[in-house]
Amino acid sequence: MNSIGIIPARMNSTRFPGKPLVVIEGKSMIRRVYERTVLCHDLAKVVVATDHKSIFDHVLDFGGEAVMTASSHNTGTERCAEALEMIHARDNIEYNLVINIQGDEPYLHPEQISEVVRCFSDPSVPIATLVREIADPEDINDPNVVKVVFDENHQVLYFSRQAIPYIRQKTSGASVSGVRFFEHVGIYGFRGDILSRLVQLPESPLEQAESLEQLRWLQHGFQIFVRETNYQSISIDSPADLRKITNRKC
């Protein structure tokens, strides 16, 4: 399977403008993500897809590969799709598996990427992502932690910012009913033909309600499969989140 890793990186993030270029222990955020990603041997190519020349030039300066995409994209998925088309036209190489890697996880584990890739050993899987069991009870009701429920075949039933499933009898907590809560880990894998179809879909009511793009795919009938991961990762969504990595070494 010919796999490409694409890291969407935009400069004008609402919560953290200039985030890809913020310096963390001597290296930019985007450089850390790129260098962690290229350690994954399941990827034939790694590319940063950006809408800003400063990011583009920076990636080239440290020896990475980047492409310039439109600034009009609303999602990282749209940016990945454009980047894939550009790379295919330029190199005349078709990648049948695309991994969308979040550009704000500077301590990403390369094995997490491999875990997503392995989901596609099943030819029936069109989209795959990761989940991790929630360890901190406070995260269950945190709307910034996206929860996910899935069936016995690891096919997603729903994503939500709310606590799902709802535990009606709360006398002894969720453990009495055997329920485990899972958070979504935002690495996505797409078959190449599926990605091109997803970006043609109109926004859905569920997506608008929860502000979760993946609900658009579910509501339009696309299957998403998950794999459990035990790796911990740190997502930097705002300047305050930089405190999470104080004194951490990579």
Q: Where are the beta strands (DSSP E) in 13-112?
A: 23-24, 27-28, 45-50, 66-68, 97-100
Share the mean pLDDT of the chain. 91
Q: Which two tokens stand for residue 131?
A: 């989940």
Band of the pLDDT at 12, cuts 50, 70, 90?
A: confident
Q: What is the pLDDT of residue 250?
A: 43
Q: What is the pLDDT of residue 246?
A: 60
Q: What is the pLDDT of residue 156?
A: 98
Band of the pLDDT at 18, cuts 50, 70, 90?
A: confident
Q: Is the pLDDT of residue 191 over 50?
A: yes
Tens-place pLDDT, residues 78-120: 999 999 999 999 999 999 999 999 998 998 999 999 999 999 9
Q: What is the pLDDT of residue 177?
A: 61
Q: Is the pLDDT of residue 19 over 80?
A: yes
Q: What is the pLDDT of residue 80?
A: 97
Residue among 237, 189, 236, 183 at smallest CA distance from 217 = 189
Q: Which of 44-58, 64-78, 90-104, 236-250 has the lowest mean pLDDT?
A: 236-250
Q: Which CATH superfamily is domain 1-108+233-250 in?
A: Spore Coat Polysaccharide Biosynthesis Protein SpsA; Chain A (3.90.550.10)
d(CA 45, CA 135): 34
Instruction: Tell if the pTM clears 0.85, that is, is over it.
Output: yes
Residue range 43-48: mean pLDDT, rounded: 97
211 or 173: which carries more pLDDT confidence?
211
Q: Give the chain's count of helices (H) and strands (E).
A: 7, 11
Domain extent listing, the chain? 1-108+233-250
